[in-house]
Structure 1
């Protein structure tokens, strides 16, 4: 087996950009430099999440500065007509040689309503199924129209109309969709629709359990998915260097954010003030937080090289030497994880570090030869 490693392509950047004093003033030139770095270093691609910039526009503007990286663009169903989005995707793929991926995001009731999409939670999944089914058919060249409950497209004639002339598909047999969904309705939606099922990170055994449950649902309809997750990462030459930096970075994270990260780890219904853990590290972390203090980074380690809290994401972070982090990635791989979306700040310098000391230790499934950056030591 082999894994895909993606980086993060976003506007907020800096040493610790979740705080104003650690955030840089970035612009489009910075995004160009970041995309060029990701591409040159051999990452499979990069995630463009929702931000103040329209992600599909940003990705399109970066085609010319890159050669092989894929752009994983967050896309809500209903933002555009599925036919318009399909033509956008065809155009992007023609100009980039098939380097666009969509991260299917179903959003929330309030956010989607602001875009003109007004469906309750479970019905929103029904709408999404139709939307992406229509998108796939139109992207593949179907001109017969679409007559669904939510999506209705008239047949399209070749000619001079605004949607008349098309490029045709670049990616076959269909356009790849990535995405997530944890509720029963979300899982059912995912296994019908997605090529790569994404999940928030967890320990290798727990994440593996989740992926196996999703696989069982997919098997019921004759489908098999790949799986991916999203990590912050602190990787250094040695364990000591990595944890020392994690300890420093933790001082830049508000205590309340750390508190919420630990609360999210507790069993359903448990609260920080009264929870008792069998893990002495978790007990120490909880005791510190109850006193309004920051716990140590090591006390936030919930699995070897996996900690919660010492980043702005407030989720799980891979921390350790390149050798140990590579071992942990292989453990996740053994539990069914095929793709890792990782990042560290500053994005450009840390992308270089990870490519230098971590990627050479992994078996990569990027579809091209990944450059080896280190110059060999003289014999």
Structure 2
């Protein structure tokens, strides 16, 4: 994103959760513990998550996304996010939220609380959901077969949260949610409100994001071999989303989720990518870890850095990254790639 004569690029880091990253020993041990009662503290997963996120913070990452997987051994996102907020000093803590499982009133209250606890470092990521069983079990029958209805619920959900955070008498008479003018008794630190992130492939979802959210996560084909085609698609989609937001007198920021593979040569990077592709074929949850290969951030450090700069040039403001193994990949990226990323170093020089 151009601002004056420099490019601004934020680095984000996915908090390593069992459904987010490819299986590795630290995660597997934590999952094994989580399945049994009577395990002595400290909690393995909390220790690993704090170590990973605080290390990312020291490396210069600015945002961490705490995803939510209700049907899984993952720690609950709000509770884990609060622990991470207390363990960090500068990191923005982005919490994933599923409309239908949790109400906007509760999100607004918990979000304001976390924003105050963290000193204004809270944000939220709206996830419309794809897993009927998860929505039904944890949302008490909340799955909606109609995509149109799911996006209508998402639209009301976001409007309700913003109203609760910004209005003294929030009102909404919706199909799914109602606000009767009762003010939120606790206000967030950030003004006008904490950032709201979201991703959507549908026109209805994109319109909601353009009208009411702050950052749209770009979409792409999951095949890492289609980097050039995905780049063209993202460039066109950014232009489209800018137009949608402008119709509401707004501007948007743009994010990109990516799995990063740095290797000595392209052949080794492809081998690692194919291994992750195979892992993603296990089931729909494992696919979550593999689908971010499509961003194409793989190859030598020079290739990865160049592609991050290219994304910055077409308008991406934030790259939300994951690595395997998590800690080794993070350190390799910080040491070998970050110094080469022009958009990062220009931002630092102009800060």
Q: TM-score range by the shorter chain?
A: 0.7 to 0.9
Partner of residue 190, structure 1:
209
Q: Offset at 1:365? A: 9.3
Partner of residue 278, structure 1:
none
For residues 29 and 152 of structure 1, the distance between their equivalents in structure 2, rounded to whole angstroms, comes to 40
Does 1:12 pair with 2:38?
no
Larger Rg: 1
Does 1:24 pair with 2:4?
no
Cα deviations by residue, 1:253-277 (Å, 9 ceiling, x for unpaired):
539949x9xxxxxxxxxxxxxxxxx
For residues 95 and 315 of structure 2, the distance between their equivalents in structure 1, rounded to whole angstroms, comes to 23
Partner of residue 221, structure 1:
248
Q: Which moved more, 1:130-139 or 1:243-252?
A: 243-252
Contact 1:176 1:195 in 2 (8 A): yes
Contact 1:14 1:347 in 2 (8 A): no
Q: Structure 2 length as normaliser, TM-score?
A: 0.77
Extract unaligned runs of 5+ from structure 2: 1-6, 31-44, 221-226
Tell me the secondary structure at the aligned position of residue 254 of structure 1: helix
Alignment of 1:189-338 (within 5 A): 189-201=208-220, 203-236=230-263, 238=264, 240=265, 243-247=267-271, 250-251=274-275, 254=278, 257=281, 312-313=290-291, 315-316=293-294, 317-338=296-317
For residues 77 and 366 of structure 1, the distance between their equivalents in structure 2, rounded to whole angstroms, comes to 38
Does 1:147 pair with 2:173?
yes
Contact 1:130 1:151 in 2 (8 A): yes
Contact 1:75 1:103 in 2 (8 A): yes
Q: Structure 1 length as normaliser, TM-score?
A: 0.71
How many residue pairs get aligned? The number is 308
Q: Residues 126 and 231 (structure 1 numbering): CA distance in 2 closer, same or farther, change over 3 Å?
A: same
Contact 2:85 2:93 in 1 (8 A): no
- Runs of 4+ in structure 1 deviating by more than 4 angstroms, as ranges, are 13-16, 20-23, 365-370
Choose which of 301, 304, 322 in structure 2 pairs with 1:343. 322
Whose helix proportion is higher, 1 or 2?
2
For residues 197 and 5 of structure 1, the distance between their equivalents in structure 2, rounded to whole angstroms, comes to 15
Q: Offset at 1:246? A: 3.9
